[in-house]
Structure 1
Amino acid sequence: MAEAIKNFIISFFTAFFTKWLEDFFIFTGAVVIIVNTYLITIVDGNILAGNYLLGTILIITGVAIAKK
């Protein structure tokens, strides 16, 4: 029974890091950029730039993981 649970946990994390993580990164990056666009008049410029950079890095990381 312990071996079955161990195999399930290993296969779950393997599937998560190979199939779902890139989708999560791309989705999160897109959400950060979209929310940032609506907050242009409220948030300071340096914070906006950092958030746009974060969104771009998340999207690029997701695409790089998906290409593997």
Structure 2
Amino acid sequence: MARVIKNYLIAFFTAFFTKWLEDFFIVSAIVLTVLNTYLISVIGLNILIGNYVLAVFLAIIGVTLARR
């Protein structure tokens, strides 16, 4: 039973890092951008700018991984 669970976890993480990681980066960048757009008047400007930079960085990494 432990071998089955181990093989399942290895297969899941292998598939995640080879097939889904770029999608995760792109979707998280989109979600972060949308959330920041709604929080413009609530959070400080420096945090807002940092979150937008993080979203752009995640999107660039996701697109780069998707093209590979």
Q: TM-score range by the shorter chain?
A: 0.7 to 0.9
Judged with a 3 Å threshold, the aligned counterparts in structure 2 of structure 1 residues 2 and 44 are, in CA distance, closer, same or farther, namely: closer
Deviation, structure 1 residue 7: 5.2
Distance, in Å, in 1 between the alignment partners of 2:40 and 2:28 is 18
Aligned residues: 68
Deviation, structure 1 residue 46: 0.6
Match of 2:61 in 1: 61
Match of 1:40 in 2: 40
So what's the TM-score if we normalise by structure 2? 0.82
| Percentage identity across paired residues of the two chains | 57
Extract unaligned runs of 5+ from structure 2: none
Distance, in Å, in 2 between the alignment partners of 1:45 and 1:5 is 46
So what's the TM-score if we normalise by structure 1? 0.82
Judged with a 3 Å threshold, the aligned counterparts in structure 2 of structure 1 residues 2 and 41 are, in CA distance, closer, same or farther, namely: closer
Judged with a 3 Å threshold, the aligned counterparts in structure 2 of structure 1 residues 8 and 46 are, in CA distance, closer, same or farther, namely: same
User: Which amino acid in the other structure matches residue 31 of structure 2?
Assistant: V
Extract unaligned runs of 5+ from structure 1: none
Pairing 1:28–2:32 present? no
Distance, in Å, in 1 between the alignment partners of 2:35 and 2:5 is 40
